[in-house]
Amino acid sequence: MNRARPAAELSRRIGGTRRWILLSALLGTVTVGSGIALVAMSTHLVTMSEIYGTAATLSLVILAVRASAVTRVVARYVDRYLGHLGTFRVLTRLRVWTYSSLVDAEPLGDADHRRGDVVAALVDDVETMQDHLLRVAVPVVVTALTSLIGAVVIALIDPAASLVFLGVFTVVAVVSWSTLRRAAATAGRAMTAVRAERLARSTEELAVLDEMIAWGRADRLTAVLSELDDRERPATRRLAAVRARADAVVTLTTGGTALVLAAMVLRPPFTVDVATWVLAVPVLALAATEAIGPLLAGAERSASTDAAAGRVLDLVERHRPPPRPPSRPLATRSPRLVLDHVSFAFDGGPIILEHDTTVVEWGHTVVVVAPSGTGKSTLGELLLGLRSPTGGAVRIDDIDVRAIDHEDRPTLMAAVLQDDHLFDTTLRDNLLVADADADDECLRRFVTVAGLDALVDERSLDLPVGPDGASLSGGERQRVLLARAMVADAPILVLDEAGEHLDPERRRQVLDAVLDSRRGRTTIVLAHDTSVIARADRVLELRDGRLHEHPRHEHRADAGPTTQS
């Protein structure tokens, strides 16, 4: 997609930014306008006092000076307060919009799309966007309004000087802004890209720091950061040069405009009334050009915010989910699961499923066996609606699983997947992810089913599990995931290699306890061996892209649910 101004496009999509820009611009204009009035009236007051030798008759002018000073201070404070309040609220909307756009996306961790890039978009790029409101959009409006105010006030004293002021102001604002923005564009994009890369790489490297230490490669992160610093340094120098040019333009514009206007208005003959104002013109020009500094500083930030906005939009559009059927409520609490002519293959990859049709009746325990790497996990993601099939549909009764609302799906389906995450909090909090209303008695019941009662009796439900369960053993971590899935108490449960990290005997005991507690509901077990076949109502083998009835269970394919203990 061709985007001339990605930051403006992103602001339009999230909405709710225009009123904050207008409010901040109005307050900024009042602040600068009060400054203009303050210096104009102060100069007028000093001049009149010198001419008349007294300030006794100048009470109104003195009152105007005081009012301008107070207005400037109050407007500056309110401008800063509401400007930052609006920025933080807009950033909140942007974070929620970005996250919500990714919720419906296909899985984000495939080979081309790193999770670190998602973190960079949600953290660094979104944070960069705060400059768009405060330091890019608002200064443009403030500068335009300030130039008009300054020109009108100067025109009341000297119309010719007003035209010169307006012309210089406009040329400097437009030409300098465009020139500086072009100069900063390449460096800003490079800076944004390097910072995002640093955050993404750091996130990924720190996640495997223990493994790097074990392999004697702890210096890898240092090397990565050093390389990125070397790449960032030229962009930093370039942006510093742009800022220096902007400062030079502001200084020259301010001083030059004041001198030119002074030369124009300080010419005889003077009447007394005119003389009391002519000295205010160059000083007034100095006050008005206060708006030029933030405008030109915003030129550099404009390039950075456009680069950050472009990354966010690219991420969202790259992961845009395929069209989903309209959401529909499920009419029954005893649904059957149907793979309706489902096919799936990764781009350029092997076929996982090829127009397969399979029906899982309500209340059955179905085991799908296949060697590792042949598509069991992908099949589980298709069943849960986490991936969209290439053809056909996965249905619950007659409803496409993708058409079930996110809010309703957890009450219908639960799962233990191979890359499930545990949060760095207590065991209780991790279990409550499945059902926030579950009481301790319920949690302990399913902890016992998962074989973790000894651990809980010893250390309680307030046991910290560490980052992604790092404080637990591999087997304990796996059983916590099982307990969490059981707490959901969903009609359909999908277990993908849920017994890994457990020894064969413990795996059999835990799975037996799980299946006993699931009696009368649907459970689908994805496994690479046949250790759970004895407990299944139906065994399918994923082979050559199709689900085949396992020879040992062909005669039981239409049998009712297992009731053995």
Tens-digit pLDDT profile for residues 477-494: 999 999 999 999 889 999
In the three-class reduction of DSSP (H, G, I as helix; E, B as strand; rest coil), residue 396 is classed as strand
Return the pLDDT at 322.
Answer: 61
Pick from 36-45, 486-495, 554-563 the range whose average pLDDT is largest: 486-495
Does a cis peptide bond (omega within 30 degrees of 0) precede residue 269?
A: yes
Specify the range with the lowest mean pLDDT, choosing from 73-77, 302-306, 426-430.
Answer: 302-306
Residue in the structure block whose two tokens are 């119309």? 159
Position 559 pLDDT exceeds 80: no
- DSSP label at residue 423: -
Position 561 pLDDT exceeds 50: no
In whole angstroms, give the CA distance from residue 289 to residue 150. 9
Query: In 3D, which of 68, 85, 82, 84 has the Cα closest to residue 32?
Result: 68
Query: In 3D, which of 424, 428, 410 has the Cα closest to residue 470?
Result: 424
- Say which CATH superfamily domain 6-194+233-318 falls into: ABC transporter type 1, transmembrane domain (1.20.1560.10)
- The rounded mean pLDDT for the chain is 81
In whole angstroms, give the CA distance from residue 525 to residue 538. 10
| 57-105 pLDDT per residue, tens | 677 788 888 899 999 999 999 988 988 898 888 888 888 888 888 776 6
- Whole-angstrom CA distances from 1 to 35, 256, 287, 291, 310 are 44, 44, 43, 34, 10
Are 238 and 186 within 8 A, CB to CB? Answer: yes
Are 489 and 522 within 8 A, CB to CB? Answer: no
Return the pLDDT at 563.
Answer: 37
More confident residue, 111 or 20: 20
Average pLDDT of span 238-253: 81
Q: Show the tokens assigned to 77.
A: 């404070």
In whole angstroms, give the CA distance from residue 484 to residue 429. 10
The residue type at 142:
V
Q: Show the tokens assigned to 399.
A: 């409803």
In whole angstroms, give the CA distance from residue 100 to residue 94. 10
In whole angstroms, give the CA distance from residue 380 to residue 368. 10
| 330-349 pLDDT per residue, tens | 656 678 899 998 988 887 67
Are 324 and 168 within 8 A, CB to CB? Answer: no
| 520-543 pLDDT per residue, tens | 889 999 988 777 677 788 889 888
Q: Give the distance between the most distant pair of CA atoms in the chain.
A: 116
Position 1 pLDDT exceeds 50: no
In whole angstroms, give the CA distance from residue 424 to residue 453. 21
Domain with CATH 1.20.1560.10 in the chain: 6-194+233-318
CATH number of this structure's domain 337-556, picked from the four choices 3.40.50.1820, 3.20.20.140, 3.40.50.300, 1.10.3720.10: 3.40.50.300
Dihedral of alpha carbons 250, 254, 256, 257, sign: positive
Share of residues in the chain with pLDDT > 70 (%) = 87
